[in-house]
Amino acid sequence: FKEAFSLFDKDGDGCITTKELGTVMRSLGQNPTEAELQDMINEVDADGSGTIDFPEFLNLMARKMKDTDSEEELKEAFRVFDKDQNGFISAAELRHVMTNLGEKLT
């Protein structure tokens, strides 16, 4: 989960802001409004900081894993990567998503 948190926490300050959350959501094909992003953060923002720290992120992940149909979520995540919907994730498709998430690829 620490690696996932780091993908969101672009500036490495230990907190996920609405801007950082929005960047990741958009790279995954979502288009949340500023209000929706703030709602997502408020849902788990235990200390009222307006951002998500790592313990709050773990809480969010635990909720998501408990509340969702795992198989459908996995299929949805796969479809994000499988841009041409052919049932396979090509190297180019993987590179596209990882680059959008800010990963440095070699």
Interval 2-23: pLDDT, tens: 888 998 899 999 999 999 999 8
Interval 18-52: pLDDT, tens: 999 998 888 777 888 999 999 989 988 999 999 99
Answer whether residue 74 is part of any domain: yes
71 has a pLDDT exceeding 90 = no
Cα→Cα distances 48→38, 42, 57, 93, Å:
12, 8, 14, 38
Interval 74-89: pLDDT, tens: 788 888 888 898 999 9
pTM for this entry? 0.61
Answer whether residue 85 is part of any domain: yes
Answer whether residue 42 is part of any domain: yes
94 has a pLDDT exceeding 90 = no
Answer whether residue 106 is part of any domain: no
Q: E-strand spans in 25-95?
A: 52-53
The CA distance from 74 to 53, in Å, is 25
Mean of pLDDT values over 93-97: 85
Answer whether residue 93 is part of any domain: yes
Question: In the chain, how many domains are there?
Answer: 1
* CATH number (domain holding residue 97): 1.10.238.10
The CA distance from 19 to 16, in Å, is 8
Q: 51 with 16: CB under 8 angstroms? A: yes
Domain around 54: 1-101
Q: 50 with 44: CB under 8 angstroms? A: no
Answer whether residue 53 is part of any domain: yes
The residue whose two tokens read 């998430």 is 101
Higher-pLDDT residue of 93 and 101 is 93
Q: Percent of the chain scored above 90 by pLDDT?
A: 35
